[in-house]
Chain A
Amino acid sequence: MINIQQAHKAFKGKPAVQNLTLQVEQGEILGLLGANGAGKSTTINMLLGFLKPDSGTISVLEKDINQSSKELRKHIGYIPENVNLYPYLSGLENLDYFCRLSGLKYTKSELQEFLNICGLPSEDHQQKVAEYSKGMRQKVGIAIAYAKKAKVYLLDEPASGLDPRASNELSVLLKKLASEGATILMASHDIFRVREVCHRIGILRKGELVKELRSEEVSANELEKIYLEYIQN
């Protein structure tokens, strides 16, 4: 479902992603771990079609992202690290607005249900987003991606700003989506969350995929050791 082959991207001559090859199958969650500047966000931006790789091929749902980015975006759900919403609208209105942008029309109770699933309490639904915390905005962002009922989800530090409980709810949600057949690629710093949620884990260093492993093969502590070892090297 997600297939990256020998992708390379550099900014002003400095490589951000080098010879990256990875696949994520349908119903699978792949976690990308890496320090700041390791190339996680660049990879996601290339998958979203926001950046064009200098070389290599990137395909989603068997289609080259460079040639059908517009069409593919219909099937992609995205949660950025910082979800920015319209401050003069409430959380519920933001959700409805973004859904309508995608051509999706939900009833008020359906929208409220999405927000509840994503951990935003009912009493906050009608509050203006200007008064929201980062975590609350993040929950609305998750609800937006969830409501899209996409085939592929790209998550860039999705748990950023979430409290432990909301973070846990997100993990449950992602597993549910994967079990329903969604393909998920998640970039994160959070080793423990990645190990808990993802089926496979990739470690990125200076734009290169230096290690790939299955999460059931390692404990959280072992993963941390491996990660630090690769990062320090």
Chain B
Amino acid sequence: MYKYMFKQFLRTNTCKLGLFLVLILGVISISIGKQFLKGQERIGSHVTEKQLEHIQRNVELHSEDIGLLLYYLKFAVISEVSPLAALSIGQKDVNPSVQSVSILTLEGQKYDSDLVNPTKLLFGNLDLSFILLYVFPLLIIAFTFSLKSEEEETGTWRLVRIMSKSRLQFLLAKLSVRVILLLLAMCILFVLAGLILSIPFGMAFLAFFVTGLLYILFWFSLSFWIISLKRNSSFNALALLSIWLTLVVLLPATINNFVVTKYPVPEAFTTNIKQRDGYHQKWDTNKRETMEKFYARYPQFESYGYPPEEGFNWLWYYAMQYLGDEESSKESEMMRTKILQREQMSRKWGQFIPSIHTQLAFNDLANTSLSNHMYYLQYLNDFHEQTRLYFYPKIFSNVNGKEVDWSQFTPGYFSLSSKVNFRQIFLPLIILILIFFGLSLLNMRRESRVY
């Protein structure tokens, strides 16, 4: 029976065209991911090479004045990109993977990012997660909307009713043919992705695959529920397309709008103003007052004393720079908290909206989520502080630049290896699949009781 169901379905133009399109789009998305990874690798190796040159050049020029030397020197922190990021680029296209910072005020430097063509950002990324989230559900709708109604509309249903042992089993068999074909297409894409992108077969990759699989099964269960309502093909198609539009476009946009309104981030602007004011006002403030604030935070440097009020001094200059950050730290922290609150709120809603949940899960697994970037910024803070604290005594005692071991200043690397929380990722999708599948079975059983 299955043999004929496969034959019958594979011979239809809908099936041929649908599978061809999804495979072609999938391959394109993988090659886009490959380009993204290559770009990230290129930037990483370029930064390592250039940082060494940059330090050598500046040491040659300013070794006698280490304060000036450190004014120019920048140190890169690279957020390591997992190969899975090629499948779900997530926030990586707007949030940089490399930040080069000097030991001056940090806040302003955090947002000095790569130049990205805004038109490219507008188009978004056609990565594999996009294909799974947007294209696969459309294909599922195209493959299933007339699962039963086409039998009724073409007149084969009467013979099926007489000949088949169970109508429910017949429909489930028909559905499973479509499930198998689409899952096969998904498997082919994952195998290709694994080979082309050299993704190691680990827990994250497995979780990524299972999440995609569950998302597809969710759409099948939803479609089966609509089919079980026993309406005609045009009703089914219209209902399923409306649901697709709602779940994939309308609700995510509405929730995004809600979250942005609920947690406004005016701090994004005030942080910069505070930091700039915090620093600039120090030019007109007594040096002693500035130094007292600096020593209150770093008493270990108090032995360097207070510079004269007249004239320029690197000790005072770097204290001013630091205080710019300190005076904007409250706003900076508030901004961070609100951004994380936005993310948390999205996750909460996402538990009920599979498209959001799946996208967030993909980004988490690929380390391309917003929270991943926030961890990276936190790491950048720590890196900045460690670098400052290493150089402060050298600047304050005006060590010759050539005496510093610069070879240790290769770019810092940030990588986040979080444990995959299978329950948190899979459970919402499994529950929704069971609900819709259960409702479909109830409808089908009710129907078989009433003819």
Contacts and interface: CB of A to CB of B under 8 A. Distances in A.
B155 to A, nearest CB: 3
Nearest to A93: B4
Interface residues of B, number: 21
B303 interface: no
A144 B161 CA distance: 13
A77 B159 CA distance: 9
B288 interface: no
B417 interface: no
Interface stretch (A3-11, A13-21, A43-51, A166-174): A43-51
Interface in A115-153: 141, 144, 148
A69 interface: yes
B163 A101 contact: yes
Contact of B12 (A77, A82, A88, A97): A88
Contacts of B156: 84-86
Interface string B239-260: 0000000000000000000000
Contacts of B164: 101-102
Contacts of B163: 98-99, 101-102, 144, 148
A32 interface: no
A80 interface: yes
Interface string B165-176: 110001000000
Nearest to B156: A84
B119 interface: no
Nearest to A99: B163
A80 B12 CA distance: 25
Contacts of B4: 86, 89, 93, 96-97, 100
Contact of B158 (A50, A52, A70, A97): A50
Given A98-B163, A102-B163, A70 B8 contact: no
A77 B158 CA distance: 12
B451 A78 contact: no
Chain A interface extent, by class = 20 to 34
B160 interface: yes
Interface string A44-78: 00001111100000000000000001100110111
A220 interface: no
A103 interface: yes
B451 A52 contact: yes
B159 A51 contact: no
Contacts of B448: 70
B451 A101 contact: no
B166 to A, nearest CB: 8
A84 B170 CA distance: 17
A103 B154 CA distance: 23
Contacts of B8: 86, 88-89, 97
A78 B448 CA distance: 19
Contacts of A48: 158, 161-162
B292 to A, nearest CB: 86
B158 A103 contact: no
A83 interface: yes
Contacts of A73: 161-162
B354 to A, nearest CB: 33
Contacts of B170: 101
Nearest to A48: B162
A80 B158 contact: yes
Contacts of A50: 158, 161, 451
Interface centre among A49, A73, A83, A98 (most CB of B within 10 A): A98
A89 B161 CA distance: 19
Contacts of A89: 4, 7-8, 11
Given A49-B451, A85-B156, A78 B162 contact: yes
Contact of B159 (A88, A98, A100, A103): A98
B148 to A, nearest CB: 14
B143 to A, nearest CB: 15
A99 B3 CA distance: 13
Contact of B155 (A70, A84, A102): A84
Given A49-B451, A84-B154, A96-B4, A102 B159 contact: no
Nearest to A96: B4
Most chain B beta-carbon neighbours within 10 Å: one of A96, A99, A100, A141:
A100
Count chain A CB atoms within 10 A of each CB in B1, B12, B159 and give the residue with the most.
Answer: B159
Among A78, A101, A141, residue most surrounded by chain B Cβ atoms (within 10 Å)? A101
Interface string B213-233: 000000000000000000000
Given A88-B12, A144-B159, A101 B154 contact: no
B155 A82 contact: yes
A127 to B, nearest CB: 14
A93 B7 contact: yes
Interface in B1-40: 1, 4, 7-8, 11-12
A52 B448 CA distance: 13
Given A69-B451, A89-B7, A78 B1 contact: no
A101 B171 CA distance: 12
Contact of B165 (A49, A97, A101): A101
Contacts of A74: 165
Contacts of A101: 1, 160, 163-165, 170
28 contacts: A50-B451, A73-B161, A74-B165, A77-B162, A78-B158, A80-B155, A80-B158, A82-B155, A84-B154, A84-B158, A85-B159, A86-B8, A86-B156, A88-B7, A88-B12, A89-B4, A93-B4, A97-B8, A98-B163, A100-B4, A101-B160, A101-B165, A101-B170, A102-B164, A102-B165, A141-B159, A144-B159, A148-B163
Interface of A: 48-52, 69-70, 73-74, 76-78, 80, 82-86, 88-89, 93, 96-103, 141, 144, 148
List 9 tightest A-B contacts by C-beta distance, closest first: A84-B155, A88-B11, A97-B4, A100-B1, A101-B164, A101-B163, A78-B162, A98-B163, A102-B163
Given A76-B162, A84-B155, A97-B8, 14 more contacts: A48-B162, A50-B451, A73-B161, A73-B162, A78-B159, A82-B155, A89-B8, A89-B11, A96-B4, A97-B4, A98-B160, A101-B1, A101-B160, A141-B159
